[in-house]
Amino acid sequence: MKITLKVWRQKSKDAKGEFKTYQHDHVSSDMSFLEMMDVLNTQLIKKGEDPIHFDHDCREGICGMCSMYINGQPHGPLQTTTCQLHMRTFKDGETITVEPWRAQAFPVIKDLVVDRSAFDRIQQAGGYVNVNTGGVPDANVIPISKKIADEAFDAAACIGCGACVAACKNASAMLFVSAKVSQFALLPQGHAERKERVEKMVEQMDTEGFGSCTNTRACEAECPKAISVANIARMNREYFSAMVSSYEVKVGGGE
């Protein structure tokens, strides 16, 4: 295969970026997208040029590091991670445009690499269970219905890649945050801190500068793990409940 790549190049966060065009004439249809980028970088290095910087780690669709905006879609034309996208998806002679995530909360570090530590700070704000539960109970001590267990597992499948933010016209992180809220709110172990958790995580999300949700569902359509927008509705209920409880405590003189 022969393809033309238009890749965003940017030396640093504060530098002015631009698209640069590369002709790639020896592409196997069996290559993954990242393998194709590896081959291109090898060619650039041999020419004495700076290779294209991009994030990657497991290359098994698990870690969510391979964040690339390909031909106007997060991770490319298929609902999968970039590392699981193969060149047979594209046509011989096609021009492919590759960009980093575009979001104020995800500043560009270099080329296609963005700083997604905003997601880490949101999880640090409340995405965990820290109540003193004593020793680890047997697995069957706390009865949990299969429906609830499945919903919690589906929410926990979020890999935090940021495709939802990249797909949203407002760069909203609602799908990510709601998945992290849901995986604990659904299970008994997370009930003790559910109100404090959702308040802190939503507050941190707003502090990081993510936009608001307008229910276009682009996030769900592009999510490589098919996280449902039903989690957003659940988070809104959790947040409303937490706000009502906080108001009642203040009015009742509890604070």
Residues 56-74 have pLDDT tens digits of 999 999 999 999 999 999 9
Domain boundary among 55, 88, 110: 110
pLDDT over 90, % of the chain: 87
Please identify, among 88, 110, 132, the residue that sits at the C-terminal boundary of a domain. 110
Q: Which residues contact 6 (CB under 8 A, 6 or more apart)?
A: 19, 20, 21, 95, 96, 97, 98
Q: In the predicted model, is pLDDT for residue 255 greater than 70?
A: no
Same domain, 159 and 45: no
Per the structure, the complete domain to which residue 206 belongs is given by 116-251
76, 176: one domain: no
CA distance 77 to 66: 14
- Name the domain count of the chain: 2
Nearest CA to 36 among 45, 46, 44, 24? 24
Q: What is the pLDDT of residue 222?
A: 96
Q: Which residues is 24 bridged to in the sheet?
A: 3
pLDDT digits (tens, 9 = 90+) for 228-250: 999 999 999 999 999 998 766 67
| Residue 130 confidence (pLDDT) | 83
In which element (H, E) is residue 21 found?
strand 18-24
Distance between CA atoms of residues 194 and 186, nearest Å = 9
- Res 249: pLDDT: 67
Q: Are residues 102 and 149 located together in one domain of the fold?
A: no
Average pLDDT, integer, range 202-222: 96
Does 126 lie in the same domain as 140? yes
Please state, in angstroms and rounded to a whole number, the distance separating the CA atoms of residues 63 and 75.
Answer: 13
Asked if pLDDT for residue 83 goes beyond 60, the answer is yes
Among the three residues 66, 90, 110, which one is the final residue of a domain in this structure? 110
Same domain as 183, residue 65: no
